[in-house]
Amino acid sequence: EVQLMESGGGLEQPGGSLRLSCAASGFTFRNSAMSWVRQAPGKGLEWVSVITDNTFTTFYADSVKGRFTISRDNSKSTLYLQMNSLRAEDTAVYYCVKEVYFGSGYFDSWGQGALVTVSS
Amino acid sequence: QSVLTQPPSASGTPGQRVTISCSGSRSNIGSNTVTWYRQFPGTAPQLLIYINDQRPSGVPDRFSGSKSGTSASLAISGLQSEDEADYYCAAWDDNLSGLLFGGGTRLTV
């Protein structure tokens, strides 16, 4: 059974930093592209970033480009999202998702989500 | 950044058929596959349709997807009260080099 477990969320002040982690199990992590998707309170889904399986190529939404960095450690089956220069509008539940085909938006597994609150 | 347009709401009565549209452009729906998700309040989204019209195992055949040109649709037949949820479409955009979600459609039964 595929499991994605996010951690690292919490309350941070504007301008601060947080790092989310996602521990993956139940599938061959190194063979899967992985993404982060977020959802602000009462709002819709917003894709944040994707990292490919072996080449570690990354893409970002314009809203986070230059501030967020996605990375992965295939030896630990763990996905990361380093979030710097946080803004109030980054407040959201952040989901770690497994992508079946890179660039398809075909996410067959989602984590339970980690809440990030940016507020002074 | 949401350039996939969905109606904010849809409704139907039990047993009816309802369709939710997702309108995009040549760089996203026109060039790439469409995926549909369903989300119940307080829970993570669930995969409903992938590669335009494919259903994952466990999704009843009451749910069907289609794509034509730069638009896609999700159809739900034999509407049930438990179908009340938010529905999202998604597609990669070649110009943005990023994934787009539609704004979401809240279905009321």
- Chain B positions with Cβ closer than 8 Å to A: 1-2, 32-35, 37, 39, 44-47, 50-51, 56, 86, 88, 90-92, 96-104
Tokens 């938010």 sit on residue: B86
What is the average per-residue pLDDT within B48-62? Answer: 96
Looking at the complex, does the CB of residue A113 fall below 8 Å from at least one CB of chain B?
yes
Model confidence over B7-53: pLDDT tens digits?
999 999 999 999 999 999 999 999 999 999 999 999 999 999 999 99
In tens, the pLDDT along A15-38 reads: 999 999 999 999 999 999 999 999
Q: Would you call A108 and B46 a contact, using CB atoms and an 8 Å cutoff?
A: no
Check pLDDT > 70 for residue B2.
no
C-beta atoms surrounding B79 within 10 Å: 19
List, as ranges, residues 58-97 from A with C-beta within 8 Å of B: 59-63, 95
Report residue B22 as tokens: 């997702």
Question: Residues of A with CB below 8 A from B47's CB?
Answer: 106-108
Q: Which of B9, B63, B45 is nearest to A45 (CA)?
A: B45
